[in-house]
């Protein structure tokens, strides 16, 4: 187990508004008045102000920072590996947090989607393990990265794997929707870094396949989203099994909800860095609200998505995503869907189709608003306006990433005027509002280029629910057992449909193929002879 790093006050640099409190002995559990009294001097300044009073406005000034990764303290082997991948200039969130995280301190980092948070925690994890003398052991990971969704875990692993290989470190993912077997095998072989969703990881912990007593550093990515999905109880149980003196990093677009509870209980003198306001939109992102009649909604969507470039369309429900995908395909727009009713294999195939250009349009629920990074998304369309302003910002963050330009369009019908007005006000957005139909010239300005349509193929892209076969293991985002999350969230992230839905899907497939669906035979029990009718 690595020794605990010193807990001292962090001097504020000229370009930092990070805050910390006085050093204190670490206590594993604090409740009641004692906890409140002890946390007042440390957490209330660094966390409570950021989470409650200053959470939307405090921003760290890191403009014109010309420091390199080497200047920030990144080991030379990692600097070389980053340069080979074309990564040479740190993003602001990386420049702000790396000196502290590489020094072994607990860090709270807030940056908007697309700000470079992944490398901000991946590099400290790799640097710490590479410098450690602890050897890899079966079933005992040395670093743990928790993410709310399978897609985000996969994206993080994609960033870690090439760098870990250069350092001789082994990493793996653990999430639901796939079989337990390969994950158990990977843990037995020994993994230095485990990137996991809380539910499935907890399954392995309880089964004895994953033992967390050797974890030296833990990362929580998109912690606020884990709170929204109801994962915090599982996260707390997992953190309780890691060493009390392990380093902990928390990165998110916002620092609110139940995150405060995790900070107070599991982090020691955390240093808070906030380089992007949670409310502020990206400067190179333009926002438009298109006021349409209900019957013009689909024609407008078809026109926008038929333009060149990648488009990401958000709906509020899984059914809405599925239905809209079918309608776009029927109109000649190659589209795929992404939502919780798809199996993991279908989700992966659809994301690959969107990434390689086979499908120019991805229709998704909010599950795709976090952690899915596909380069070149030029247009984000809110076909259904989200309920919360944070969801609007997270959805919109799929475009205009890393300094690129992007356009965000929200479709608004007559009955949504008040909701959209409140939504944009809370998000700090002043959109251009235009009342139009599918013939309006503004559509070609928002999505320039010739419209192209493709005749629907006999075999459409993967757009349906998962097949009738059950996937081995839990198929929720975190893979947790029933009862671990609220029902509404469970339905959104469930990776397989219900029995009734599978039956409906089978009958629908049979109807399309012209083959009559087979109903289960109904057997009648034979009565005993003395009970049969005469």
Q: In this structure, are residues 466 and 186 in contact, taking their beta carbons and an 8 Å threshold?
A: no
Residues 347-356: contacts with CB under 8 Å, at least 24 apart: 347/150, 347/151, 347/177, 347/495, 349/462, 350/461, 350/462, 351/151, 353/461, 353/462, 354/310
Tokens of 457: 């193929």
Residues 445, 303: Cα–Cα separation, whole Å: 12
pLDDT at 403: 64
pLDDT at 532: 45
Phi and psi dihedrals of 242, rounded to 5? -90, 155
pLDDT at 370: 65
pTM greater than the 0.75 cutoff: no
- Give the residue from 291, 121, 138 showing the smallest Cα distance to 219: 121
Residues 282, 146: Cα–Cα separation, whole Å: 27
Residues 493, 487: Cα–Cα separation, whole Å: 10
DSSP per position, 118-175 = HHHHHHHHHHHHHH--PPPBTTB-SEEEE-SSHHHHHHHHHHHHHHHHHHT--EEEE-
Residues 492, 475: Cα–Cα separation, whole Å: 11
Angle between helices 232-240 and 259-266 (to 10 degrees): 10
Chain center to CA of 319: 21
Tokens of 73: 């303290």
Residues 346, 473: Cα–Cα separation, whole Å: 16
The count of C-alpha atoms lying within 13 angstroms of the C-alpha of 104, restricted to the half-sphere facing its C-beta, is: 14
**Which element (helix H / strand E) includes 362?**
strand 361-364
DSSP per position, 68-124 = -TTTTT--HHHHHHHHHTT--S--HHHHHHHHHHHTT--EEEE--TTSSHHHHHHHH
Domains observed in the chain: 32-274 (3.40.50.300), 285-446 (3.40.50.300)
- Report the side by side order of strands in the sheet with 271-274: 171-174, 193-196, 143-146, 217-221, 247-252, 107-110, 271-274
Residue found by looking up tokens 């030296």 in the block = 216
For residue 45, the 8-state DSSP code is I
- Give the residue from 318, 357, 355, 356 showing the smallest Cα distance to 337: 318
Q: In this structure, are residues 362 and 312 in contact, taking their beta carbons and an 8 Å threshold?
A: yes
* Residue 30 CB neighbours (<10 A): 14
C-alpha distances (whole Å) from 120 to each of 11, 124, 252, 450, 474 are: 20, 7, 11, 40, 30
Residue found by looking up tokens 């999430």 in the block = 175
Give alpha helix (H) positions in 312-415: 318-330, 344-356, 389-396
- Give the residue from 466, 493, 437 showing the smallest Cα distance to 153: 493
**Which element (helix H / strand E) includes 301?**
helix 297-305
- Give the residue from 377, 351, 363 showing the smallest Cα distance to 325: 363
Per residue in 396-418, is it b (16+ CB within 10 Å) or e — as a string? bbbbbbeeeebbbbbbbeeebee
Q: Name every residue whose Cβ is closer than 8 Å to that of residue 528 and which is 6 or more positions away in sequence.
A: none
Could you list the pLDDT tens digit for every one of the 534 residues in the chain? 444 444 444 333 333 444 444 343 444 443 333 333 333 333 332 333 343 433 444 445 444 568 999 999 999 999 999 999 889 999 889 999 999 999 999 999 987 666 788 999 999 999 999 999 999 999 999 999 999 988 889 989 999 999 999 999 999 999 998 999 999 999 999 999 999 999 999 999 999 999 999 999 999 998 888 887 889 999 999 999 999 999 999 987 776 657 888 888 999 999 999 876 544 455 578 999 999 999 999 999 999 999 999 999 999 999 999 999 999 999 999 999 999 888 888 988 998 999 899 999 999 998 766 657 777 899 999 999 999 888 898 888 888 776 678 999 999 999 999 999 999 999 889 999 999 999 999 999 999 999 999 987 644 555 544 444 433 443 344 444 344 444 444 334 433 444 344 444 444 444 444 444 444 444 444 444 444 443
* Residue 73 CB neighbours (<10 A): 16
Per residue in 31-56, is it b (16+ CB within 10 Å) or e — as a string? eeeeeeeebeebbbebbbebbeebbb
- Give the residue from 429, 397, 435 showing the smallest Cα distance to 300: 435
pLDDT at 375: 76
């Amino acid at each position: 187990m690595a020794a605990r790093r010193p807990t001292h006050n962090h001097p504020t640099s000229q370009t930092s508004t990070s805050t910390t409190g006085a050093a204190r002995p670490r206590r594993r559990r604090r409740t009641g008045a004692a906890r409140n009294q002890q946390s007042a001097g440390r957490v209330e300044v660094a966390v409570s102000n950021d989470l409650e009073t200053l959470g939307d406005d405090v921003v760290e000034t890191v403009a014109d920072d010309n420091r390199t990764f080497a200047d920030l303290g990144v080991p030379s082997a990692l600097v070389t590996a980053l340069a080979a991948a074309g990564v040479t200039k740190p993003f602001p969130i990386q420049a702000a947090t790396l000196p502290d995280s590489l020094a072994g301190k607990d860090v709270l980092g807030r940056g908007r989607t697309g700000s470079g948070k992944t490398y901000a925690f991946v590099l400290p994890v790799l640097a710490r393990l590479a410098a450690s003398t602890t050897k890899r052991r079966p079933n005992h990971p040395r670093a743990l990265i928790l993410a709310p969704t399978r897609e985000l875990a996969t994206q993080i692993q994609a960033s870690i794997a090439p760098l870990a290989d250069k350092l001789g470190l082994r990493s793996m993912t653990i999430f639901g929707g796939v079989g337990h077997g390969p994950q158990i095998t990977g843990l037995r072989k020994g993994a230095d870094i485990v990137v996991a969703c809380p539910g499935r990881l907890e399954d392995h912990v309880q089964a004895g396949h994953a033992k967390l007593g050797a974890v030296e550093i833990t990362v929580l990515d998109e912690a606020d989203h884990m709170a929204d999905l109801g994962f915090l109880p599982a996260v707390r149980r997992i953190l309780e099994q890691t060493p009390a003196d392990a380093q902990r990093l928390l990165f998110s677009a916002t620092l609110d909800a139940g995150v405060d509870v995790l900070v107070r209980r599991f982090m020691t003198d955390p240093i808070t860095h906030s380089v992007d306001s949670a409310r502020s939109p990206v400067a190179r992102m333009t926002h438009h609200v298109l006021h349409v009649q209900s019957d013009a909604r689909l024609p407008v969507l078809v026109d926008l998505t038929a333009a060149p470039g990648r488009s990401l369309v958000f709906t509020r429900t899984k059914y809405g995503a599925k239905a809209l995908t079918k309608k776009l395909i029927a109109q000649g727009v190659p589209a795929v869907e992404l939502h919780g009713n798809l199996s993991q294999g279908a989700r992966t195939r659809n994301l690959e189709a969107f990434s390689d250009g086979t499908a120019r349009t991805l229709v998704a629920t909010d599950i795709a608003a976090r952690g899915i990074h596909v380069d070149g998304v030029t247009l984000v369309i809110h076909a259904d306006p989200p309920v919360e302003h944070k969801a609007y910002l997270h959805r919109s963050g799929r475009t205009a990433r890393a300094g690129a330009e992007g356009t965000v369009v929200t479709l608004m019908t007559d009955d949504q005027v008040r909701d959209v007005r409140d939504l944009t006000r809370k998000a700090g957005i002043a959109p251009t509002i235009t009342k139009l139909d599918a013939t309006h010239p503004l559509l070609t300005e928002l999505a320039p280029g010739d419209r192209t349509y493709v005749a629907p193929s006999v075999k459409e892209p993967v757009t349906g629910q998962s097949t009738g076969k059950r996937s081995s293991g839990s198929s929720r985002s975190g893979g947790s057992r029933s009862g671990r999350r609220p029902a509404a969230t469970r339905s959104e992230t469930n990776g397989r449909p219900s029995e009734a839905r599978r039956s409906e899907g089978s009958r629908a497939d049979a109807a399309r193929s012209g083959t009559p669906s087979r109903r289960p035979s109904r057997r009648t029990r034979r009565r005993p002879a003395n009970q049969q009718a005469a």
